[in-house]
């Protein structure tokens, strides 16, 4: 058992998928991300389905979710940026202030899935996962905006906050009873949460009373930040599309004047999480142009997407570049699709077919996936 | 052989002479054929030019009767020979070029300020041309003896007139009616700019980060945050309480400062970003 490191990718020139060693090139049996190393580079590993439900209730990109449903399994490719990130996370010094890692790259290169890989690793090791799947969803297309009960200047977003709390509960069920809040929170005249009660109560309050959901989110963030330094648990803050926090919003007040991001309570609290004034965990972020507002479609560098304010807020961070597939990864991806009989075209397994796909997609993972969907 | 043709016929029958171009010698005096700007005359120009759109895979039309060749401006009156003749004629009105100034660098060195003026000559009811009063003054800012603050202030004062790539300040004046007045005004502007940029006003102390032309790490938010981070790291390691200067003076901080400044000033590309990454890793004491 175990994996065999592929010495070289010598693709059989005949049209049949090589039956003798299908598993070695594109797959590995190692399901624990902690054991992934350089020898697994380019290979797919499958995420067990129970893990999928608990760890990623809302985290995977929609096309990937469709692929999971079609194939019946969730396979992530082990790639260099993710390996690098896992290496850093494994060597985190929990006494030091939280380090921020920013995954950046052009559109469709695999930043979100690399983030998911890291989240899976942390979940397997018992970290508390604070995953915001797409921060852009919080700054646009919001139906209800209420004036915040806690601070009159800010705005609440009950719907987004309650959906997030539900997913947060699914991911971190076992932690919610262990962590105790350290302050008394009064919701309204009749309800309050006493000091020392489990965090699960705050989350319940947010889910049931949708009006207080945003404040519940704020409390959860504050408590987790404070308590992760105590060493009870390790906290992983994972935000996809973090450039939304410092960009512009498309939301407007009743008098049609635009709202700045800091006037949204969710964004304001999330920004506080991004500071490195706490320790006992790590912060992994991705920049995303898709879904961002008022940014050029080709923008991918940190300064372009974060702006001056965002960059200065996150500085110093470790930027990790995620690029298109290299040849090995590309071959592996094609093999994976062939194995699952996703590529039905008769020319797909041939050399020219592969060359054509390579040319058309330019080894961009998202483009390749879209192209193969038609074949 | 009696001429039985009538008078009208005789007139019509007068043979067309061959075009003048056929009789031209190769070494003739061309400037006398086209002494001034004249429209294109196909019989006079001995070149077999063709011009036109090739209809139906054909060829462009011949020059005889070709309206396109007549419409366009031609420079047949300005051949190199003709220009040489013009220069010879104008030499009587010119003075000698100074022999010592035989290279561009020497001209730059001794005469850093360059003045461009245009004179217009045309035949018409008036010899005056309103465009002639414009004066352009160009000077290389490195010759201007400005210190750092003065140069930044000068650039802010002149705005559009400064070119960053060539470091040249260009002042165009045409608000006065005479060229001489515009020249004086341009020199006056240069003097005023020079003196004003050396002065420091009271309100310049309020220069904020948004006004800065380039990123300076000292006193920036990044410095404060780095300090805080380093203090926390130190506290975590239970090291002795080091003071601010020692913390900020380490090599890692210097590297980080350099890479961040180059990132912000030069823009982001693979090299600057990877340097930044390495310096951050060293700063935060990454193990492995």
Q: What is the spatial distance between Cα B99 and Cα B211, in angstroms, rounded to a whole number?
A: 48
Question: Could you tell me which residue, A283 or B241, shows the higher pLDDT?
Answer: A283
Q: What is the spatial distance between Cα A172 and Cα A55, in angstroms, rounded to a whole number?
A: 8
Q: What is the spatial distance between Cα A194 and Cα A185, in angstroms, rounded to a whole number?
A: 7
B140's enclosing H/E stretch is strand B135-140
Q: What's the confidence (pLDDT) of residue B5?
A: 62
Q: What are phi and psi of A17, to 5 degrees?
A: -70, 130
CA atoms in the 13 A half-sphere facing the CB of B259: 25
Closest residue in chain A to residue B283, using alpha carbons only: A316
Which residue spans within chain A are E strands per DSSP? 44-47, 74-77, 99-104, 128-132, 146-147, 155-156, 185-186, 192-193, 235-240, 281-286, 318-321
Question: Which of A37, A85, A95, A315 should one mutate to test binding to chain B, selecting the residue with the greatest count of B CBs within 10 A?
Answer: A315
Which of A116, A50, A52 minimizes the C-alpha distance to A81? A116
Q: Please state the rounded mean pLDDT for residues A21-33.
A: 66
Question: Which of A84, A97, A246, A298 should one mutate to test binding to chain B, selecting the residue with the greatest count of B CBs within 10 A?
Answer: A97
What value, to the nearest 5°, has the Cα angle with vertex B58 and ends B54 and B60?
A: 45
DSSP A165-187: HHHHHHHTHHHHHH-B-SS-EE-
- Asked if pLDDT for residue A8 goes beyond 50, the answer is no
- Ramachandran assignment for B215, one of left (phi > 0), alpha (psi -120 to 50 degrees), beta (any other): beta
Q: In the CATH scheme, what architecture does the domain B104-123+130-203 have?
A: 2-Layer Sandwich (3.30)
Inter-chain CB proximity B229 and A97 less than 8 Å:
yes
Q: What is the spatial distance between Cα A214 and Cα A156, in angstroms, rounded to a whole number?
A: 6
Q: Per-residue pLDDT tens for A45-59?
A: 888 888 888 888 888
Sign of the alpha-carbon torsion through A15, A16, A21, A27: positive
Q: What's the confidence (pLDDT) of residue B182?
A: 94
Q: What is the spatial distance between Cα B84 and Cα B87, in angstroms, rounded to a whole number?
A: 5
Q: Which of B233, B270, B273 sits opposite A96 (nearest CB)?
A: B233
Count of H-run helices and E-run strands, chain B: 11, 4
Q: What's the confidence (pLDDT) of residue B2?
A: 57
CA-based end-to-end distance of chain A: 34
Q: How many CB atoms lie within 10 A of CB A286?
A: 25
Q: In Å, how far is A315's CA from the nearest CA of chain B?
A: 7
Closest residue in chain A to residue B287, using alpha carbons only: A91
Q: In Å, how far is A169's CA from the nearest CA of chain B?
A: 32
Which segment of A19-28, A73-82, B115-124 scores lowest on mean pLDDT? A19-28
Q: What is the mean pLDDT of each run of 10 residues along chain B (288 residues)?
A: 63 78 87 91 90 90 91 92 93 89 88 92 86 93 89 91 91 93 94 92 84 76 77 73 71 84 82 87 76
Structure tokens, A127:
């970290």
List chain B domain ranges: 24-91, 104-123+130-203, 214-284
Closest residue in chain A to residue B229, using alpha carbons only: A97
Question: Which CA distances in Å does A310 have to A263, B156, B248?
Answer: 16, 27, 23
What value, to the nearest 5°, has the Cα angle with vertex A46 and ends A41 and A49?
A: 155
Strand partners, A99: A282
Chain B interface residues (partner A, CB cutoff 8 A): 220-222, 225-226, 228-229, 232-233, 236-237, 256, 260, 263-264, 267-268, 270, 273, 276-277, 280-281, 283-288
Q: Which of B222, B233, B288 sits opposite A97 (nearest CB)?
A: B233
A80-113 per-residue burial string, b: 16 or more CB within 10 A, e: under 16 = bbbbbbbebbeebeeebbbbbbbbbbbebbbbbb
Inter-chain CB proximity A321 and B273 less than 8 Å:
yes
Cβ neighbours of B283 in A, within 8 Å: 316
Q: What is the spatial distance between Cα A76 and Cα A277, in angstroms, rounded to a whole number?
A: 33
Residues A286 and A102: beta-carbon distance below 8 Å: yes
Q: What's the confidence (pLDDT) of residue A194?
A: 81
Q: Which of A99, A301, A315 sits opposite B225 (nearest CB)?
A: A315
Q: Please state the rounded mean pLDDT for residues A308-330.
A: 86
- Asked if pLDDT for residue A97 goes beyond 80, the answer is yes
B113-117: strand order across its sheet: B113-117, B135-140, B168-173, B162-163
Q: Per-residue pLDDT tens for A139-181?
A: 888 877 888 777 778 888 888 888 888 888 888 888 888 888 8
**How is chain B split among helix, strand and coil, in percent rounded to 5?**
50, 5, 40
Q: In Å, how far is A245's CA from the nearest CA of chain B?
A: 19
Residue B56 DSSP class: G
Which of A112, A136, A144 minimizes the C-alpha distance to A294? A136
- How many contacts does A have with B, using Cβ atoms within 8 A? 61
Q: Per-residue pLDDT tens for A226-268?
A: 888 787 888 888 988 888 888 888 888 888 888 888 888 888 8
What value, to the nearest 5°, has the Cα angle with vertex A53 and ends A49 and A58?
A: 130
Q: Is the peptide bond between B230 and the residue preceding it cis, with omega within 30 degrees of 0?
A: no
Q: What's the confidence (pLDDT) of residue B188?
A: 95
Q: What's the confidence (pLDDT) of residue B11?
A: 65
Q: Which of A97, A316, A317 sits opposite B232 (nearest CB)?
A: A97
A204's enclosing H/E stretch is helix A199-208
Question: With bands split at pLDDT 50, 70 and 90, how would you rate the model's confidence at A15?
Answer: very low
Q: Please state the rounded mean pLDDT for residues A214-225.
A: 86
- Is residue B28 exposed (0-12), middle (13-18) or buried (19+ Cβ within 10 Å)? exposed
Place of tokens 């054929």: B33
Chain A interface residues (partner B, CB cutoff 8 A): 87-88, 91, 93, 95-97, 99, 276-277, 279, 301-304, 312, 315-321
Residues B233 and A96: beta-carbon distance below 8 Å: yes
A216's enclosing H/E stretch is helix A213-228
Cβ neighbours of A89 in B, within 8 Å: none
Q: What's the confidence (pLDDT) of residue A262?
A: 84
Cβ neighbours of A95 in B, within 8 Å: 236-237
Q: What's the confidence (pLDDT) of residue A4?
A: 43
A149's enclosing H/E stretch is none
Q: What's the confidence (pLDDT) of residue B10?
A: 65
Q: What's the confidence (pLDDT) of residue A184?
A: 82
Q: What's the confidence (pLDDT) of residue A21?
A: 36
Inter-chain CB proximity B287 and A91 less than 8 Å:
yes
Q: What is the spatial distance between Cα B205 and Cα B220, in angstroms, rounded to a whole number?
A: 16
Cβ neighbours of B256 in A, within 8 Å: 316
Which of A239, A193, A237 minimizes the C-alpha distance to A219? A193
């Amino acid at each position: 058992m175990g994996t065999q490191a592929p010495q070289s990718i010598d693709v059989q020139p005949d049209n049949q998928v090589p039956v003798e060693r299908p598993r070695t090139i594109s797959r590995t049996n190692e399901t624990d991300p902690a054991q992934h190393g350089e020898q697994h580079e380019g290979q797919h590993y499958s995420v067990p389905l129970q893990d999928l439900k608990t760890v990623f209730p809302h985290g995977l990109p929609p096309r990937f979710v469709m692929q999971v449903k079609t194939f019946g399994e969730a396979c992530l490719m082990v790639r260099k940026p993710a390996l690098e990130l896992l290496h850093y996370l494994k060597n985190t010094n929990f006494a030091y202030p939280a380090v921020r890692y920013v995954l950046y790259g052009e559109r469709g290169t695999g930043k979100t899935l690399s983030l998911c890989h890291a989240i899976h690793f942390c979940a397997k090791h018992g970290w508390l996962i604070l995953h915001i799947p797409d921060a852009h969803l919080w700054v646009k297309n919001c139906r209800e905006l209420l004036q915040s009960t806690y601070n009159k200047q800010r705005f609440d977003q009950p719907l987004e906050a309650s959906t997030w709390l539900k997913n947060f509960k699914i991911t971190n069920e076992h932690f919610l009873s262990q962590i105790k809040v350290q302050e008394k929170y009064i919701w309204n005249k009749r309800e309050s949460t006493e000091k020392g009660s489990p965090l699960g109560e705050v989350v319940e309050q947010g889910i049931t009373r949708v009006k207080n959901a945003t404040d519940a989110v704020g409390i959860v963030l504050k408590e987790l930040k404070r308590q992760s330094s105590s060493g009870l648990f390790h906290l992983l803050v994972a935000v996809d599309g973090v450039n939304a926090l410092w960009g512009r919003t498309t939301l407007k007040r009743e008098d049609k004047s635009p709202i700045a991001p800091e006037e949204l309570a969710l964004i304001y609290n999330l920004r506080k999480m991004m500071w490195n004034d706490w320790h006992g965990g790590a912060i992994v972020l991705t920049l995303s142009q898709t879904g961002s507002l008022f940014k050029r479609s080709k923008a991918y560098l940190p300064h372009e997407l974060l702006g001056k304010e965002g960059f200065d807020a996150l500085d110093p961070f470790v930027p990790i570049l995620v690029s298109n597939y290299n040849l090995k990864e590309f071959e592996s991806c094609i093999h994976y699709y062939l194995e699952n009989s996703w590529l039905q075209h008769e020319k797909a397994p041939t050399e020219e077919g592969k060359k054509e796909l390579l040319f058309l997609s330019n080894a961009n993972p998202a483009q390749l996936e879209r192209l193969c969907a038609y074949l | 052989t009696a001429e039985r043709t009538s008078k009208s016929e005789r007139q019509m029958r007068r043979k067309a002479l061959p075009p003048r171009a056929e009789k031209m010698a190769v070494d003739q005096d061309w400037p006398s054929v086209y002494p001034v700007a004249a429209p294109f005359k196909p019989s006079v120009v001995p070149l077999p030019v063709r011009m036109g759109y090739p209809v139906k895979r054909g060829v462009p039309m011949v020059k005889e009767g070709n309206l396109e060749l007549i419409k366009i401006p031609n420079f047949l009156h300005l051949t190199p020979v003709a220009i040489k003749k013009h220069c010879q004629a104008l030499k009587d009105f010119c003075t000698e070029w100074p022999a010592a100034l035989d290279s561009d660098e020497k001209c730059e060195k001794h005469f850093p300020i360059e003045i461009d003026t245009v004179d217009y000559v045309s035949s018409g009811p008036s010899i005056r041309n309103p465009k002639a009063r414009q004066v352009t003054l160009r000077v290389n800012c490195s010759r201007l003896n400005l210190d750092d603050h003065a140069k930044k202030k000068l650039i802010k004062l002149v705005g559009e007139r400064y070119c960053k790539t060539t470091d040249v300040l260009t002042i165009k004046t045409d608000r006065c009616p005479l060229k001489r007045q515009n020249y004086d005004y341009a020199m006056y502007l240069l003097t005023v700019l020079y003196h004003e940029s050396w002065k420091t006003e009271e309100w310049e102390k309020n220069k904020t980060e948004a006004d800065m032309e380039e990123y300076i790490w000292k006193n920036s938010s990044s410095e404060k945050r780095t300090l805080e981070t380093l203090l926390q790291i130190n506290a975590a390691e239970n090291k002795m309480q080091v003071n601010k200067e020692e913390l900020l003076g380490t090599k890692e901080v210097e590297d980080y400062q350099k890479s961040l400044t180059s990132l912000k000033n030069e823009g982001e590309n693979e090299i600057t970003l990877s340097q930044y990454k390495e310096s951050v890793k060293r700063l935060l004491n990454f193990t492995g």
